Amino acid sequence: MRKLILQEWISLDGFAADENGQTDFFNKPEYNEESEDDVLDFMGTIDAILLGSRTYRMFVEYWPTVTTEVETIADKLNETPKIVFSRMVDHVPWGKWNDARIVNRNAVEEVTRLKNKSGLDMVLWGSLSLAQSLLRAELIDEIQLRVCPVILGKGKRLFSEEMKHLELELLETQSFKSGLVFLKYQPIYTS
């Protein structure tokens, strides 16, 4: 069975975006430079990128036109099939690359179906509402966090107050000179 990996950048106080929905706090060049080889290696272990409609809109404004000279993972990210979960959008182009596939039905049912198909693992980036619903449905197999050395104070939390108690097993840690910390966990579902 394929794994679904939730991969997020967060502030030290647990926010994935500031109070205006912006993610500028993790766009420092030193963060990306230090972890770009790790991310490129990770890209070789997946064959699908899952996105919510807001994250799709953010990504499609940047990634389809970026080259590997600017972002090491650009070609790999752009050629990897993308699945966008949205009931509001009916077409999800990706520049000169293959269009993303739109899923406008129940995300839990679709992700369950995808996990049972053969293939490499899948990653979910951004998409906080989708991430929270898939965590509640116990469909996230691994949580990978890049924790930035910044406190936002307010913003959009990755783990909302509505989340139920969930134990996590630490699988890996890595720290970088910039203060960025990588954490990998496996959720321990009890139901």
Q: What is the pTM of this model?
A: 0.94
Element (H, E) at 101: strand 101-103
Looking at residue 36, its pLDDT comes to 79
Q: Could you give the CA distance from residue 146 to residue 39 in angstroms, rounded to a whole number?
A: 11
pLDDT in tens, 13-25: 999 999 988 888 8
List the domains of the chain with CATH numbers. Answer: 4-188 (3.40.430.10)
**138 contact partners, CB below 8 Å, separation of at least 6:** 187, 189, 191
CA distances from 81 to 17, 102, 129, 138, 176 (A): 25, 11, 21, 23, 30
pLDDT in tens, 47-93: 999 999 999 999 999 999 999 888 889 999 999 999 999 998 889 99
With 90 as the cut, is the pLDDT of residue 39 above it?
Answer: no
Instruction: Fill in the DSSP letter of residue 119.
Output: S
